[in-house]
Structure 1
Amino acid sequence: LSIAMNESPTIKVADMEIEKKRYTRKSTQSALFPQIDVVGQYTRTIQKQTMYLDGGFGSSMGLDIDPTQFDAEEMKVVQVLQKVLGSPAPEPEEDAPAEGIQFGRSNMWTAGAVVNLPIIMPSLWKNIQLTSIDVEYAVEKARSSKIELANQVKKAFYGVLLAQDSYNVYKKTFDTESTVLNDIKNKFEQGLVAEYDLITASVRLQNIIPEMLQTKNAVQLAILQLKALMGIDLEVPLGIEGSLENYEDEMYAQLLDVDLSLTNNSDLRQIDLQVEQLKKVYEIRTSQYLPTLTANFNYQYMSQNNDFRFSDYRWDPYATAGITLAIPIFDGGRKHNDIKEAKLSVEQVRLQREDAERQIKLMLQNQINQIAKSIEQVNSLKTAKEQAQKGYDIAVKRYDTGMGTIVDVNQAALGLTNTGLQYNNAIYDYVTAKSELEKVIGVDQPIF
């Protein structure tokens, strides 16, 4: 189990998912801090704006202009300035074209910093709480993966023990039948038994060999499956110690120590966390009705020029600061419908939890019944196994003394083999049912 928890890709993926959710929570929490951006912008004016004036702003400043000092194009600009700063110009004729002046420069450069700070953001606060629940949900899913993996590893280990014990039963039967066959051969050579007895014993021995090969292959396959679940290379040699019979003495004490409540059931805990997540989603959508308040600060330098002689540029500062209050008024009913949807989602998951709890209780009762049944079978088959061994010994002695037949020996040997296999299967059913029971009630392994 320790190797599986450290090497299994499933567990590693689950742990990575926890880390992802923690990073997501930190990313969401970062929205509480000021957001500072350095901005730069270049704008090229393709067509400058034109301003038209139909009259001046008074004659208080006056203008004394010598027309001979200007060419035709410059004189047009002077005339416009005269209208703006000089004496009032005569009313333009109705059909005369309006005069205008273009202003601005071809190149505009802007560089500075922008700072935004949320002050009141109810939806952001609820979203941070939601990410915390997401982390808890990821942790519970990882715990569920570990419980599931532990269950699979234990069942695979028990499967190896079952295959090994079954092989040992057939091997013991093969060795015993080989001894009986040799004894019958000796008696046949001495003329003490019929050839029928020799043929029957030989056929009996040959029939055991395929069963031995099948169980031997089952052992190898079970070990490969166990390696795969443990997350180790299939070429690594792995030896399995122990026997299913070792678990017989621990049956009753282990069953009494198990807490049968569903408090730690991982499936139910995950559903509970899903309910909490949906409740937070409901609160987030409800908080969208609340106003938000943000602060902002902007500090920039600007330069406007008609050329690219950067050393001659003049940079002028520009700064603003303010707060923004946003009060939701109308959105076509979007928030209202979102809230109703979230409320229905909560109710859906609650109903799903009730159904899941019923199903889990049914599984729990089924495993308890299976354990009780296996215990009774083990007790019964243990006695039957001892009696079968005793019956086989009697049948062999009766055959040696001439009071029994080879058929009696074969039947006794078959009964001994079957009771041995059934005994191992009963213990296997118990340990696998107990493993499933621990999975249902959410028993954490000590290595967790």
Structure 2
Amino acid sequence: MLSNIKPSLAISLLLLLFAMPKQTKAQEVLENYIREGLQNNLVVQQKNVSLEKAMYSLKIANSYFLPSLDFNSSYNHGEGGRSIALPVGDLLNPVYATLNELVQQNDFPQIENVNQQFFPQNFLDAHVRASMPLFNRDLYYNKSIQQHQLQLQEYEVKVYERELVKDIKTAYFNYLSATEAIKIYESAMALVNKNVEVNQALLKNGRGLPASVLRAESELENVRAQLQDARNAEQNAGRYFNFLLNREQSSPIIVADELTAGLEKDALSRIALKLDTSEIQQREELDMLRTAELINHTVVNMNQSFWMPKLNAFADLGVQAENMNWNSNSRYFLVGLSMDIPIYQGRRNHYNIKQSQLDLKNTQLSLNHTTQQLQMAADVALNNLNTAYQNRQAAQKRLKSAQSYFRLIERGYTEGTNSLIEFIDARNQLTSAQLQLSISTYKVLSAMAEYERESGAYPLY
């Protein structure tokens, strides 16, 4: 990438790097705005909410490894339906009658046959159940997936934060460009006003022409309209900048002294340090895809281990009673193990494996494709930055020429050797050159912000 930059440009950038101070007031102003935006922006807050939800999802996944304790109770009462006849009377009454004859007493009463229903009557069962998984591979896979999902949300927050940093910088530079345009048009207004006054004085003294006065006044109205457009652009740029920072749209925006020069030197020094695009591999977008690849790989492993048994243990401690007849026999405990092993499910598990393998392959292809896209975007951004810098160098030369030409025409117009049309044309060239230099300067800074975004060079807090 260094070979794409002209030697003179590279030397200039390095000289700027060693000549600039470590931290300027302009940098502090912009960095404070970036911190404010990262803290207060509504979309960042929404992303952080999603991140917090992912943290709780991981905690939920961890909770499945711990024992669970539940209280269960049921009351049942029913009549009718199926029943079973127990002929206890027919079986025992002859025996009881014989015994009564032997003892000459009626100690053994006659009993009725029993018809026992299947439905319980006034039956209450209340117990506490403790359960715990002893072996379940799905729980481990689920925990791993939730950990990767948490990382995914962290990367997503950083992706938007990088985009927000670029937007804040660009919006700030647009605001400064509009502010600079107002100053340029105000300066032009002063020149045009002076020209109107001169022409009016000449006409009053009989040395000027009414057409010259009208032409000067028309030019004044033209500059006044351009000044109003610049003020509207400044207001709109300020509203958008405050919107990114989640502030009141009418909030004042700080412009430090020598802000343009300070930021430009900082931007160009960063270019000199970031000529290589090797940091592309550190982009959060690629980390997101790598994490998604790990998630899909975990899903494949989980689907492939469908045949592994799931073993759980439980213990119940409770009471059972009919018709609320509580006694020592009502209390009970019950312990047990349960195991689940799938045998045949219509090849559903096999299809799940194939589907998850295709998801994994698709993620790998997306990773390769996105890597190439990000590399291309960084190269394009660096080329745009170099072009913006060269355009600014040309704009500086045009401004010097326009200033010299205007001074000559202004002197000649004052002395009467140049016409009003030539004066207006020279003034327009000067204003246009000033605007072009201002615009090209902020385009360099905006291009730097874009390159920082595409190369992942900006250090997030």
Q: Same fold (TM over 0.5)?
A: yes
Q: In 2, are the aligned partners of 1:297 and 1:320 still within 8 Å (CA)?
A: yes
Q: Secondary structure at the match of 1:404?
A: coil
Structure 1 residues 402 and 34: CA distance shift in structure 2, 3 A: same
1: distance between equivalents of 2:441 and 2:250?
Answer: 30
In terms of mean alpha carbon deviation, does 335-344 or 246-255 score higher?
Answer: 246-255
Report the CA distance between 1:251 and its aligned residue: 4.2
Residue number in structure 2 paired with 1:413: 427
Residue number in structure 2 paired with 1:85: none
1: distance between equivalents of 2:311 and 2:119?
Answer: 36
Q: In 2, are the aligned partners of 1:264 and 1:443 still within 8 Å (CA)?
A: no
Report the CA distance between 1:158 and its aligned residue: 0.8
* 1:36 aligned to which of 59, 69, 83: 69
Report the CA distance between 1:135 and its aligned residue: 0.5
Q: Secondary structure at the match of 2:282?
A: coil
Q: In 2, are the aligned partners of 1:18 and 1:139 still within 8 Å (CA)?
A: yes
- Structure 1 length as normaliser, TM-score? 0.86
Q: Which structure is higher in helix share?
A: 2
Question: 1:85-164 alignment to 2 at 5 Å?
Answer: 100=115, 106-164=121-179
1: distance between equivalents of 2:307 and 2:167?
Answer: 49
Report the CA distance between 1:47 and its aligned residue: 2.9
What amino acid sits opposite 1:253 in the alignment? S
* 1:249 aligned to which of 265, 274, 277: 265
Question: 1:317-336 alignment to 2 at 5 Å?
Answer: 317-336=331-350
Q: In 1, are the aligned partners of 2:77 and 2:119 still within 8 Å (CA)?
A: no
* 1:285 aligned to which of 261, 278, 303: 303
* 2:399 aligned to which of 371, 382, 385: 385
Report the CA distance between 1:322 and its aligned residue: 2.0
Residue number in structure 1 paired with 2:251: 236
Task: Please give the per-residue CA displacement for 1:139-190, whole angstroms capped at 9, x wherever unaligned.
Answer: 1111111111111111111110111111111111111121222223223333
> For this pair of structures, how many residues does the alignment match?
419
Task: Please give the per-residue CA displacement for 1:362-412, whole angstroms capped at 9, x wherever unaligned.
Answer: 221211111111111111111111221111011010111222111221111
Q: In 1, are the aligned partners of 2:277 and 2:375 still within 8 Å (CA)?
A: no
Q: In 1, are the aligned partners of 2:76 and 2:120 still within 8 Å (CA)?
A: no
Question: 1:272-311 alignment to 2 at 5 Å?
Answer: 272-305=290-323
Report the CA distance between 1:344 and its aligned residue: 0.2
Structure 1 residues 245 and 30: CA distance shift in structure 2, 3 A: same
2: distance between equivalents of 1:105 and 1:246?
Answer: 88
Q: Secondary structure at the match of 2:172?
A: helix
In terms of mean alpha carbon deviation, does 5-14 or 125-134 score higher?
Answer: 5-14
What amino acid sits opposite 1:301 in the alignment? V
1: distance between equivalents of 2:406 and 2:457?
Answer: 44
Report the CA distance between 1:329 and its aligned residue: 1.7
Q: In 2, are the aligned partners of 1:296 and 1:321 still within 8 Å (CA)?
A: yes
Residue number in structure 2 paired with 1:17: 50
Residue number in structure 2 paired with 1:271: 289
Residue number in structure 2 paired with 1:342: 356
Task: Please give the per-residue CA displacement for 1:249-286, whole angstroms capped at 9, x wherever unaligned.
Answer: 33431211225221222222212211111111112212
Report the CA distance between 1:42 and its aligned residue: 0.9
Identity %: 17
Q: Does residue 260 of structure 1 match 2:277?
A: yes
What amino acid sits opposite 2:298 in the alignment? K
Residue number in structure 1 paired with 2:211: 196
Gaps of 5+ in 1: 82-99
Residue number in structure 1 paired with 2:97: 64
Q: Secondary structure at the match of 2:339?
A: strand
Q: In 2, are the aligned partners of 1:303 and 1:314 still within 8 Å (CA)?
A: no
What amino acid sits opposite 1:208 in the alignment? V
2: distance between equivalents of 1:62 and 1:372?
Answer: 115
2: distance between equivalents of 1:353 and 1:438?
Answer: 21
Q: Does residue 50 of structure 1 match 2:66?
A: no
- Structure 2 length as normaliser, TM-score? 0.84
In terms of mean alpha carbon deviation, does 143-152 or 46-55 score higher?
Answer: 46-55
Structure 1 residues 245 and 410: CA distance shift in structure 2, 3 A: farther
Task: Please give the per-residue CA displacement for 1:279-301, whole angstroms capped at 9, x wherever unaligned.
Answer: 11112212222112211112221
1: distance between equivalents of 2:410 and 2:119?
Answer: 119
Report the CA distance between 1:56 and its aligned residue: 9.7
2: distance between equivalents of 1:103 and 1:410?
Answer: 110
Gaps of 5+ in 2: 1-33
Report the CA distance between 1:355 and its aligned residue: 2.0
2: distance between equivalents of 1:246 and 1:122?
Answer: 59
What amino acid sits opposite 2:64 in the alignment? A
Q: Does residue 167 of structure 1 match 2:182?
A: yes
Report the CA distance between 1:423 and its aligned residue: 1.1
Q: In 2, are the aligned partners of 1:137 and 1:273 still within 8 Å (CA)?
A: yes
Q: Secondary structure at the match of 1:106?
A: coil
Q: Secondary structure at the match of 1:393?
A: helix
Report the CA distance between 1:228 and its aligned residue: 0.8
2: distance between equivalents of 1:374 and 1:105?
Answer: 88
Q: Secondary structure at the match of 1:250?
A: helix
Residue number in structure 2 paired with 1:357: 371
Report the CA distance between 1:331 and its aligned residue: 1.2
Structure 1 residues 217 and 241: CA distance shift in structure 2, 3 A: farther
Report the CA distance between 1:11 and its aligned residue: 1.1
Report the CA distance between 1:54 and its aligned residue: 7.4
What amino acid sits opposite 1:250 in the alignment? D
2: distance between equivalents of 1:105 and 1:325?
Answer: 30
Q: Secondary structure at the match of 2:321?
A: strand
What amino acid sits opposite 1:254 in the alignment? R
